[in-house]
Amino acid sequence: SSPPASDSQCLVIRNGSSAYTVEKVLGSGSFGEVAKCTKVGTNEIVAVKVMPKHQRAAAEDEEKALKHLCTLDPDKNNLIKFYESFTFKGNFFFVFEILDMSLFDLLDKLDWCPPSVAEIRAIAQQMLVALSALKSIGVSHTDIKSDNIMLVDHSSQPFKAKLIDFGLACKTEELSQYKTFQPVGYRAPEVHFGVQKYEGVDMFGLGCTLAHLFLGGHLFPIYSDYENVRSSSVFDILTSLDDLLMLSWDPADRIQPADALKHTFINMKHLPKDGTSSYVTAAHKIMAGYQNQDSCWFNSHQRSFCVRERVLPMYAWVYSRCPGSPRRPKTHV
């Protein structure tokens, strides 16, 4: 539970000369809690993940993965910034930069009205950069989903995103040692069937995440392995994704991060540099906006991204339901 509000009773976490005052609990999961904290002496706001002592093995695995990631520039590669880890009163603590909200939270805030294609492109590009960086050091995330991609600061840096939660990350060469991983609705076919696993599991997870954003709902069933595998008819419906190959059934055919970054959907080489189309203007502005923190333009145009207008004709299939799927959430224009 959250610490008492009284300053005299506030919870302080100590690590040698460093100390953090707990402001409030941001969330909790199977491995522990995440709290918003203030660093004593500097007033820097950080996020501190707390793992109880009985999660020692999981904490040590996460610490190992995070220290391996320190070889990468977190800002350049769109990865959450890790500051330090330590133990206090037998529990394990990980200190990270504070971020804004997850993509799941964003959808909830939008009342499950999908972001525009141009906005989703910005998320896709940044996560492909992150996957490319992980590939360069031989690491697989194995838990990519809408909860584990967070917006940095949606007010000042619209759609600037980072990949978080490396608690289940491992060396790519060791993937096949693990029987099952990934959330059911984001799980690659090779993981379902227990065959040889490759780095492409993360690309599949990202593809499911982007589809979740675009559809305003999950692409595959999220509660049952059996129902998930039975839902293969979705590939007959999502024909517009064939060229991108993020969701290829065969991992050998699944697109690599570097190749995906060269795809015309990402680099927009198929779009004119300028023109009268509101979509083209928005597409270029949003990509430039998250990179250059152009929040003024974004905020002034945010209400103009009408759902019915912002979807390209080639993506019109999104308004057709998959057989047996629930009706699309009501959209608000």
Residue list for the binding site for ATP:
49
Q: In what order do the strands lie in the sheet with 45-51?
A: 12-15, 18-29, 32-39, 45-51, 91-97, 82-88
What is the rounded CA–CA span in Å between residue 250 and residue 237? 18
Q: How far is CA 69 from CA 60, 82, 298, in A?
A: 14, 9, 32
Query: Which of 7, 75, 111, 143 is labelled catalytic?
Result: 143
Q: How far is CA 87 from CA 19, 30, 56, in A?
A: 12, 19, 10
How many CA atoms lie less than 13 Å away from 313 in the CB half-sphere? 0
Summarize the annotated binding site as residue ranges: 49
Q: Note the Cα 218 to chain centre separation in Å.
A: 14
143 included as an active-site residue: yes
Label residues 83-93 b or e (16+ Cβ within 10 Å = b).
eebeeeeebbb
Long-range contacts of 251-258 (CB under 8 A, 24+ apart): 251/188, 251/189, 251/190, 251/197, 251/198, 251/200, 251/201, 251/204, 252/198, 254/200, 254/203, 254/204, 255/203, 256/135, 256/203, 257/128, 257/129, 257/131, 257/132, 257/135, 257/203, 258/132
Residues serving a catalytic function are: 143
